[in-house]
Amino acid sequence: MTLSHESKSVKCATSSFTKRKNSLFSPPELYLPGTQCALRSQVSLASLTSFRVGGPAEWYVAPRCIEDLQASYQWARSEGLSLTLLGAGSNLLVSDCGLPGLVLGTRHLRHTKFDPETGRVTVGTGEPIARLAWQAAERGWQGMEWAVGIPGTIGGAVVMNAGAHQSCTANILVEVQVLCADGTTQTLTPQDLGFSYRSSLLQGDSRLVTQATFQLQPGADPVQVLATTTNHLEQRKRSQPYHLPSCGSVFRNPTPHPAAWLIEQIGLKGYTIGGAQVAERHANFILNCGGAKASDIFQIIRHVQQQVEQHWSLSLETEVKILGDFQLA
Ligand SMILES: Cc1cc2nc3c(=O)[nH]c(=O)nc-3n(C[C@H](O)[C@H](O)[C@H](O)COP(=O)(O)OP(=O)(O)OC[C@H]3O[C@@H](n4cnc5c(N)ncnc54)[C@H](O)[C@@H]3O)c2cc1C
């Protein structure tokens, strides 16, 4: 299996599949034997990513249990298909051409178990991290107040080392379970994951996070923890544009000045291509103001990088993961 986006033909008519739909009017939908897993072809990724842009996945599946996840993963491997792992799609820019191979969505893989003895919480990969932050706050467990404004899943947060308000996923992570390309599972500690700012060794890796365990601090007053959590959310809504589709911060922050400051200083707030615009409220956000194409956003990213390079002699790196072909789009 490969994580590149090299297109391969899919042997979808093999006898090992149950074919549920395959008329002229509806794209094929296949079921892997012994699973409830519908593999659907030509599924729009615009509706599955927070930018609301991007073409279709050649194949898409969103398993509801680990066994179906393993079966889908092995199917992609046996067919020699490229594999793209998709959480909430809140840090992705997908090409208007879409993605070849199998896009494996984790959003239905959800479970949460709080252990009051240890103060640890074990969570399925598809659980929204913001929802977990609210659940912890309601119990008076401290440690996740920072995560409330992040619209991603637990798996995406681990891989991206998502963070805010001077904290991040690595600070509270105890261990993760991953599914490897050969079908085996591993338990990894933060030391194994090489965490740094918005980065982990799992980026660009074929291992799939299935579950994570975090260490929190139970026993605080829920009213207090809820108040801090609410304050964090309100602070973010005041300073960041949550009202239009985006991926949050597009660029990683260099030192000493944050990317937003560098972009704002050279007058790029409001810079527009097609339906995409550098946000007026926060210059490190690019917004889909309506009808944007992925190529509009991509062109703005390149323009901002060129201008920042020219004015500040700095190369801005993207935090957003850019997937698929942008030359053909
Ligand atoms: C309005 C807004 C505000 C945001 N604010 C913040 C913020 O404050 N701080 C911050 O850090 N980020 C922020 N983000 C970005 C984004 O929410 C985070 O990066 C988040 O952690 C991504 O999670 P996801 O589930 O959406 O991952 P996706 O975007 O789906 O995927 C991100 C990467 O992780 C991989 N991946 C996803 N799930 C798995 C898995 N289970 N196993 C292995 N690989 C996987 C994908 O292949 C991809 O490479 C914001 C985004 C938006 C839209």
**Residue of 107, 120, 198, 207 marked active site:** 198
Quick check: 142 and 165 in contact, CB under 8 A?
no
CA pair distance 213, 77, nearest whole angstrom: 28
Phi first, then psi: what are they for 231, rounded to 5°? -60, -45
CA pair distance 72, 83, nearest whole angstrom: 10
Structure-block tokens of residue 92:
């992705």
Quick check: 69 and 23 in contact, CB under 8 A?
no
In the reported structure, the alpha carbon of residue 7 is separated from the centroid of ligand 1 by a whole-number distance in angstroms of: 25
pLDDT 10s digits, 270-324: 999 999 999 999 999 999 999 999 999 999 999 999 999 999 999 999 999 999 9
- The number of residues making up the chain comes to 329
Q: Between 38 and 51, whose confidence is greater? A: 51
Beta strand 272-273 with 185-188 is unpaired
Checking if the pLDDT of 14 tops 70, the result is: no
Active site residue 110: no
In the reported structure, the alpha carbon of residue 26 is separated from the centroid of ligand 1 by a whole-number distance in angstroms of: 31
Active site residue 319: yes
Checking if the pLDDT of 4 tops 80, the result is: no
Strand order in the sheet with 286-288: 272-273, 276-278, 286-288
- What 3-state class would DSSP assign to 59? strand
In the reported structure, the alpha carbon of residue 21 is separated from the centroid of ligand 1 by a whole-number distance in angstroms of: 33
pLDDT 10s digits, 98-157: 999 999 999 999 999 999 999 999 999 999 999 999 999 999 999 999 999 999 999 999
pLDDT 10s digits, 251-274: 999 999 999 999 999 999 999 999
Query: Is this model's pTM higher than 0.85 or not?
Result: yes
Beta strand 272-273 with 276-278 is antiparallel
Phi-psi category of residue 166: left, alpha or beta, with phi > 0 → left and psi -120 to 50 → alpha? left
In the reported structure, the alpha carbon of residue 150 is separated from the centroid of ligand 1 by a whole-number distance in angstroms of: 8
173 beta partners:
214
CA pair distance 179, 53, nearest whole angstrom: 29
Q: Which residues line ligand 1 (CB under 6 A)?
A: 50, 85-92, 106, 125, 149-153, 155-157, 159-160, 162-164, 198, 202-203, 208-209, 242, 246-248, 321
What's residue 329's pLDDT?
A: 52
Distances (CA, A) of 317 to 42, 154, 305, 322: 31, 24, 8, 11
Closest CA to 184 of 204, 208, 163, 162: 208
Q: Which domains does the chain have, with CATH numbers?
A: 18-105 (3.30.43.10), 112-238 (3.30.465.10), 241-323 (3.90.78.10)
Distances (CA, A) of 13 to 10, 17, 19, 74, 128: 9, 7, 8, 17, 36
298 beta partners:
none
**Residue of 41, 206, 246, 249 marked active site:** 249
Active site residue 264: no
Closest CA to 223 of 138, 146, 144: 138
